[in-house]
Every structure is written in C-alpha cells, then in structure tokens.
Amino acid sequence: MHHLHLTLYKTNIHFMTNAASLVANIEHDFAFYKSRGNEAGRDAIVLRCLSHPIPRRLRKVGFLVPLDKWVSVGNVRRKRIVKYRNDAIGIWERSKKRYFLICAQPALLYELSYITLLALLGCSFDLWGLHRVHALGISCQGMGALILLGQRQGKTSLALEIIRRNEFKILSDEQPLITHPLHCFSFVHRMGLRREIIKKDDMPSFRVFVRRKYGIKYLQEPAYSHFVQKAVPLRAVTIGKKAPVASQSKRISRWACIGKLFMHLVVGDGLCQLRELMVPLDGEDLIWLIKMLFNRSVLFVRVLFSKAVRFYVFQYTHNVATDCEALERLLERDISGYKHEAREKKR
C-alpha cells in the first residue's frame, strides 16, 4: 500500500492506495501541501483508494436513490454508499472521517480520487470558517480581488497570462479561500487546461486528465507556487461577462451582482464538488448540510455589505492578452482609488 500525507491549513489528509501511478498523480496535484504526516491539525481525514473490481457483496447493497443516470446514493448502517453505475463504489464514514473508493478503471479512479479529496477538504474547511470560492483569486499591491467566472470561461488562461506578466500575484487559478473577516488565502493545486490553449511544444510537459462530464483536460504542475500571496484582505469582487468586441470594465452597485455572488459563495461550485456527499438522507446529514449553508450565507452577507469591498463588471473577449491588460488597468485603478479614499478618511 502506498501512502501520502497532506496538510492544508491544519487539515490533515492521509491518502492510501495500492496504485503507484495514482499516488504519484495526487502528489503532483497537491505538491505544495505534502507533509510527513506528524503535523498538528484540526481534522485527520483518511481517503483509501483501491484499484480492483468491486467485490460481489458490494454490487447489490441496500436501497440506493438515483441522483442521475450515473450516480446512486444511500445510507447503510451510518455509512454513506455512493455507487457510480457498476464502475466504482464509494463508502463514506462521516463520524470517523474515512472514505473508501473502489474502482478497476485507472482513469476513473484518478478522477474520483481528486474530486473526492477536494470535496472532503471543502467540507472540513467550511465547518471551520474557511470557504472555497469558484473564482480566480488575485493579489494586487497586498489587496485581494475575486474574478467570478463560470465553468470553461478562461480562469486558468487568465491566471497563466498574469503569471507570465509578473504584475500581480496569484491566490488560486480556480479556488481561493475566504474567511469571515474577509481575508483571502491561497489554495495551490494543479492547473487544468484545454488542448487549444496549450502550445504544441509544451505538450510533453502536461499530464492527461480524462473527465466523465467535461472531457479531457491537460494538467500542469502547480509551478506558480512562488507567485502565490498567502493571505490578503478582500477589496474587489469582479463579475465576468463575455463581450463581442473589446474588454471593458466599470464599477457597479452591490445589488447588481447579488445573484451571481450568492451562486458562487453559497449554492454553486463553492458549496461542494460532490453532491452525492451532500444529499441529506437522514437527520445527521441534514444538520451537517444546514451548518455549511449557514456558514456560507454569513460569508455572503459580510461580503455584500462590507464597506471595504467594491464591485465591478468585467467584459472579456477570450483574447487573453487583451483581457489581462484590461483586468490589470481595472485593479490598479481600484487599488489607487481605495488608497485615495483611505487618505481622505484620515484627514
């Protein structure tokens, strides 16, 4: 059995598998957080992934509720059972913070292992007041900004361009962390890119990641860790909208982005990446879900009504160089305006 220990903001992960290639991939994905396993932390989560066919006794287990054509869930003897057709099965013991994955397909086992790790980390973070947000996180002159973009809308491409320009620092290309006092923390993990973004000469340096829902992505090591700013106060929230001609940006009222902000902070990808772990099937599950929703709702209210946070709309064109220049101008103007207001208040 191969072992890997990770420590992310005092949350310890013990990852075990019988597949050497899987532990190597996960180690690359979270290289910034590799530990020796003896660090003090709040939680100790165990994820055990076995690469072999599903045992016969687990193929027909209890009454499972289908969530879609792919996933069925159920609770059996205080354990959450998640079945992915007949290809893989997961067993989550919430009280002991242990999760088991069994799958004979290497590509599927890697995908489920990675997403499960993110989901379990997100659940642990949420209960301690540290929340993942589905956004591009940037640090500009010691102040944080969130760029809210949806799936496949160019967050990672923008992050790579920012790294090349070396103007700002990156918090995360996809999942920065926000606390209730409105501080942004970095969350460094591998970057996933679409084929059309990658230059032909750079292809050998990427790993292939096959996803059942969103197609193939090419993975790059978290080589931007030296660009990372660890903790900055949140000062700007920018809503991304696609524009046909040129990149533009303007300041908007907080009420104009209330829906988008709510979706990113409370409901959408921010809540949890594995809805099969979130569906309440008994009282314990429901209480756990309510706690997470309450903590995220408090964060949403604090961001919305904070006098220190400004709101913008950023119209992008998918021309990465042009979009990055427009974004830089927006953030520089915002930071200079914020500092000017702070000086005026002191007078």
Domain boundaries, the chain: 2-128, 132-188+224-346
More confident residue, 289 or 46: 46
What distance in Å separates the CA atoms of residue 90 and residue 111, rounded to the nearest whole number?
13
DSSP for 168-218, written as a single string? SEEEESS--EEETT-EEE-----EEE-GGGS-GGGGGG-EEEEETTTEEEE
Average pLDDT over residues 208-232: 69
Task: Identify residue 134 by its one-letter amino acid code.
Answer: H
Decide: helix, strand or coil at residue 108.
helix
Residue 49: its pLDDT value, please? 92
CA distance 183 to 171: 11
166-194 mean pLDDT: 83
Task: Label residue 346 by pLDDT band (50, 70, 90).
Answer: low
The span from the CA of 251 to the CA of 108, in Å, is 43
> How far apart are alpha carbons 49 and 16 in whole angstroms?
6
Q: What is the pLDDT of residues 305-316, one digit of tens each?
A: 998 888 988 877
Q: Is 211's pLDDT higher than 80?
A: no
Q: What is the pLDDT of residue 43?
A: 61
pLDDT of residue 242: 76
Res. 344 pLDDT band, cuts 50 70 90: low
What would the pLDDT profile of 35-93 be if each residue is shown by its tens digit? 755 555 566 788 999 998 888 877 777 677 887 778 888 887 778 888 887 788 888 88
In a 13 Å sphere around the CA of 129, the CA atoms on its Cβ side amount to 7
Per-residue pLDDT for 323 more than 70?
A: yes
- pTM for this prediction: 0.84
Confidence category of residue 213, pLDDT binned at 50, 70, 90: low
pLDDT confidence of 17, banded at 50, 70, 90? very high
pLDDT at 259: 86
Query: Is residue 337 over pLDDT 70?
Result: no
Pairwise CA distance, residues 106 & 125, whole Å: 28
Q: Which residues contact 231 (CB under 8 A, 6 or more apart)?
A: 183, 184, 185, 186
Q: What pLDDT digit, counting tens, does each position of 225-277 carry?
A: 566 667 889 988 888 877 766 666 788 888 888 888 888 888 765 455 556 66
Quick: pLDDT tens for 135-179.
888 888 888 889 888 777 778 778 878 877 777 888 888 888 899
- Residue 270's pLDDT is what? 47
Residues pairing with 148 in the sheet: 239
- Per DSSP, helices labelled H in the chain are 20-29, 56-59, 106-127, 155-165, 258-262, 275-278, 283-305, 320-346
Please say whether the beta carbons of 156 and 246 come within 8 A. Answer: no
Looking at residue 36, its pLDDT comes to: 58
Tell me which of 4-18, 131-145, 267-281 is least confident. 267-281
